[in-house]
Chain A
Amino acid sequence: MVEDSLDHTKAMDPLKGDYKPGSIKLEGALERIKRLIDGVEVEARSIKRGVIKVDPKLKDLVLKNLKEMGFDHFVLLTCIDLIDEDRFELVYHTWSYGTKGLIMVKTTIDREDPSIGSVVPIFRPAITYEREIKEMFGVDFPGNPRLTQFILEDWEGPPPMRKDFNALQYSVERFGTDIRYPKSLPPHLLNDGGDDNE
């Protein structure tokens, strides 16, 4: 374990800990988060990469604390469609220039009517990522000031990055792929349930 003092009283408030932002090691940061917040799972995958699994309600608290500990670069936000579990997983990647480490905060939400609070008050760059995920996965982010239409102009179909979206079928219906070469599309392809890279 790193030499950061993991004294419980200090760890309760990271700002009062005897470290400067960036001086804390990745494992130390994970350990602090674990002690500060009940019900998080932490895992250090390497000296540069950690994972925190957390309930959606607590993700703001975790991200705030990470930011204060020097993980202040919001790298990106991704969404994964866990269609078998009927959940969406959201992954917030944060990077610390001092530690040179990446911590991923993972949380899952229900696939029916998905919605999760925006992290824009903590990390402003999340505005665009949340817009994109809203369009591509249909996840709502209450609190985001700019959830307007993003890339897909005049889009009327379902969110296209969901795994139950059949891109081929949609493109045949909308763009008439088979008009000129009706024989080029074997029928079994039309019944395919999406990408093979699931």
Chain B
Amino acid sequence: MTDDEQKGGLLDQNGYPITNLPERGFVRKVADWASSRSMWLLWYCTGCGAVELPPCFTSRYDMERYGIGPMATPRQADILLITGYLSVKTLKRVVRSYEQMNDPKYVFGHGSCTIDGGMYWDSYATIKDVGLYVPVDIYIAGCMPRPEAIFHAFEKLQVMIGKGEAVGWRNYKENYQFFRGNQDKVFKRGPNWALEEPVLK
């Protein structure tokens, strides 16, 4: 991945790593268009925002209209919706799930807790900014956001994928040192983690 290595190290004005948008050929564009209409959302909930997911899944809002379905295992999922505050203990599980997901993968930060800690802004147990530990493609503001906001984000993600802009997963690989360094500051990887190799490949 030599071209990936060359691109690493870019920062935005807030000090967060970013990645260049890749060149896409015709086939890639068609594939992106197709995959943006068939995505699986990992059925994984943290924090109080989880209560908004059942209405999204089920008949009231019915996210299958958008080609999005719930998925029980990270290895088959495309979207990780982080539905609220993350304690350090939960963050560890989130990172582990995220690293198990196949590329391309997309992360939503759902609720103000994922942006700056929300009402847990001075809590000793919860992290404040998910973007330091995993690359977030779209943040949904609110405490808590309604399903309409989640669908707005789904639509935006489809547009972003169609344009080739949803590149958080590339960002994670290219700037792995940044994310890994922040992760190591708050939790330790146990001996059974064993996911380091596939992430960097």
Give chain A's interface residues, CB within 8 Å of chain B.
Answer: 151-154, 157, 160, 165, 167-168, 170-171, 174-177, 179-181, 184, 189
- Name the residue in A167, A171, A181, A184 with the highest tally of chain B Cβ atoms < 10 Å from its Cβ: A171
B92 close to A175 (CB less than 8 A): no
Closest Cβ neighbor of A160 among chain B residues: B124
- Name the residue in B14, B123, B125, B188 with the highest tally of chain A Cβ atoms < 10 Å from its Cβ: B125
- Besides the known contacts A165-B124, A171-B121, A177-B121, 4 further A-B residue pairs in the complex with CB atoms under 8 A apart: A152-B125, A153-B88, A167-B122, A171-B123
Chain B residues near A168 (CB, 8 Å)? Answer: 122
Q: Which of B128-181 contact A (CB under 8 A)?
A: 128-129, 132
How many Å from the CB of B116 to the closest CB on chain A?
Answer: 6
Interface residue SS majority, chain B: loop
B66 at the interface (CB under 8 A from A): no
Annotate B178-193 by CB proximity to A: 1 below 8 A, 0 otherwise.
0000000111100000
Q: Measured between alpha carbons, how far is A154 from B72 in the docked complex, in Å?
A: 27
Given contacts A151-B89, A180-B14, contact A175 B186 (CB under 8 A): yes
Given contacts A153-B187, A154-B186, A181-B116, contact A176 B89 (CB under 8 A): no
A171 close to B132 (CB less than 8 A): no
A-B contacts, 26 listed (Cβ < 8 Å): A152-B88, A152-B125, A153-B88, A153-B92, A154-B92, A154-B187, A157-B124, A160-B124, A160-B125, A167-B122, A167-B123, A170-B124, A171-B122, A171-B128, A174-B186, A175-B117, A175-B126, A175-B127, A175-B128, A175-B129, A177-B116, A177-B128, A177-B129, A179-B132, A180-B129, A189-B122
Chain B residues near A177 (CB, 8 Å)? Answer: 116-117, 121-122, 128-129
How many Å from the CB of B129 to the closest CB on chain A?
Answer: 6
